[in-house]
Structure 1
Amino acid sequence: MADLNQEALEGLAAELGAVLLARGMMLAVAESCTGGWAAQAVTALAGSSVWFERGFVTYSNQAKMDMLGVAAATLERHGAVSEATAREMALGALAHSRAEAAFAISGIAGPGGGSDSKPVGTVCFAWATAAGPVRATTCRFAGDRRQVRMQAVAYAFREMRAVLVAMP
C-alpha cells in the first residue's frame, strides 16, 4: 500500500488499457464508494478515449437503480455493499453503454458506516464482459478513507486486466 499513489493507479489503468486496445474492446465502470476515481485515473491518460467508453458514479441506491438497472429487491435483500449488487452494477454498465468490458465497485470507505457484518474497508467488486460470466468478490482493505478507495481502484484495474488476459 505504501507505494500506491495516483501515478501507480494511472500505471495500472494504462496496463488495462493496453489489453483492451489489443482486444479492440471498450471499458465502462460503475463506481459507488470510489466516486469516479477509476474513471479519473483512466481519463488522465492521453488516448484513453480509444478504449474507455464511460463511467457511472452511482453513489445512492436510487442512482444504482436509475442508471444501472439494479433491482430494488437486490438492494433490499443484500444491501448496496454486496456481490449481488456489484454484479448487477457491472451488468448494468454493459447494458447502458457500448462497452464490452465493465467493472463495478461498491463499498464502505469509512470512517463511519460500517457494521459487524460489513466493517469499514469492505468493498465488493464485479467484472463482466459481453462474452462471459460475471465474476464477483469481496475484499477488506485497511487504512483511512483515501487508502481504502485507492486500494479498491487498484484492485479493480488489476482484476479487470486479469479477466481480459484469461479470455480466449
Structure 2
Amino acid sequence: MTTTQRAGQVIERAIAQHLSIATAESLTAGLIAAELATVPGASAVLRGGVVSYASEVKSALLSVDEGLLATAGSVDPQVAEQMALGARRACGADLAVSATGVAGPEPHDGKGVGTVYIGWAYAGGSGAQAHHFVGGRDAIRAQATQAALQQLIQLLEQAGGHAD
C-alpha cells in the first residue's frame, strides 16, 4: 500500500468514527501531517501537529520530561510516547502519533542510523513501537512516515470504544 493510500485510509476511518488526529514529529519534520493533509476531507479530522526537531521544543511544547531527554536522549521510546501524549493534549485530539529517530547520515544519542520510535496516544492508552529501517536519509524518513500512518490505522481500529 502506498503512503497516499494509507493516509486516505486513515482519514476515511477517522471521519467515519468521528475521531480527530494530531501528530508530533522529529525526524519526519511534518511529513506525516503533510501526507494526511493531501487527502480531501482531512480538515474534518486533522487537528494539527508539532514539528519538534530540537529537544527544547519537545520539552516546551509537548511536555516531554527534560530529565528523560537529558539521560536517554531524544531517540527513545518513552520520548516518543510523551511526544504523542503532548500532541494529543496540545491539539485537543482524540488520538495522536509521533515519530523520533535517526535518519542519518550519522548515529545520534547513541542510536544507530535507521532507529525510529513511533509513539501513540488515545483514550485507551499510550505507548511506542521500535523500528529499524534501512536506506538513506530520505528512505528512512519515508519509512517512518509509513509506519506512523500504519500506527494510526491500528489506533483507529482500537479506538472505537475508547473515543471519550
What is the SS of the residue equivalent to 1:34?
coil
Cα deviation 1:88-124 (Å, max 9, x = unaligned): 1000001111210000100000011347x51100001
Letter in 1 for 2:17: R
1:139-154 correspondence to structure 2 within 5 Å: 139-154=131-146
1:48-127 correspondence to structure 2 within 5 Å: 48-114=42-108, 118-127=111-120
State the distance in 2 between where 1:95 and 1:55 align: 11
Consecutive unaligned residues in structure 1, runs of 5 or more:
none
Among all aligned residue pairs of Structure 1 and Structure 2, give the percentage whose two residues are the same amino acid: 31
What is the aligned partner in structure 2 of residue 39 from structure 1?
A: 33
What is the aligned partner in structure 2 of residue 26 from structure 1?
A: 20
Cα deviation 1:2-53 (Å, max 9, x = unaligned): xx8xxx2121111011111111011000000001001111111222100100
CA contact under 8 A between 2:23 and 2:96: conserved in structure 1? yes
Letter in 2 for 1:29: T
Q: How big is the alpha-carbon RMSD for the aligned residues of Structure 1 and Structure 2?
A: 1.4
State the distance in 2 between where 1:19 and 1:146 align: 28
In the superposition, the TM-score normalised over structure 2's length comes to: 0.92
Consecutive unaligned residues in structure 2, runs of 5 or more:
none
State the distance in 1 between where 2:146 and 2:80 align: 16
State the distance in 1 between where 2:65 and 2:158 align: 30
Letter in 2 for 1:135: G
In the superposition, the TM-score normalised over structure 1's length comes to: 0.90
Q: How far does residue 84 in structure 1 lie from its aligned partner after superposition?
A: 0.6
